[in-house]
Amino acid sequence: MERKAFDGRVIFDVTGPTLRSVVIQQGFIAAVPECKTFTGDVFNLFANIIFILARTRGVITDIEETDSDIIALAQFWEFARGNADYRAVWNAFLDLPAEEHKSRIHDEWIAALTIDEQLKAPTEVRPGSPSDEVLEAQDPEKKRGVTTT
């Protein structure tokens, strides 16, 4: 499945859950034993790098891209893809650009991987989503769950 990020300038080739995630998780735990003491945001980042690597099969960017975050993402992916040195991958992940502890790369990547789950969430959990009323107003012929012939 393809998922777009960075306003369509990055395409992630993603997959659903696979056994590969178990191998990646165990590899990270063995390589970063201190992860057993991680809490809060650090725990979430550690879990997210495992999720990102387990679910991403490829990253496509324009070779002439000039956005520094997209360039950093592409360089990280080239380094991390298939790399079994999980400590080095973890350190490279931590070195990705961020501003005030907020990483655009991390946030865009996670959003692309979790879009299906976000769409299943209630409206109040889906930021920027139109309400049911707005969607119905766009196509008054269709009513929620009812089709007419």
Q: What is the pLDDT of residues 15-73, one digit of tens each?
A: 888 898 899 999 999 999 999 999 999 999 999 999 999 999 999 998 888 999 999 99
Residues 6+ apart with CB under 8 A from 32: 46, 86, 87, 90
Task: Flag whether pLDDT at 110 surpasses 80.
Answer: yes
Please give the mean pLDDT across all residues of the chain. Answer: 84
pLDDT, residue 146, reads 46
Kindly report, residue by residue over 126-147, the tens digit of the pLDDT. 555 666 666 666 655 544 444 4
The C-alpha atoms of residue 52 and residue 86 are separated, in whole angstroms, by: 13
| In the chain, where the domains are located | 2-138
Q: What is the pTM of this model?
A: 0.73
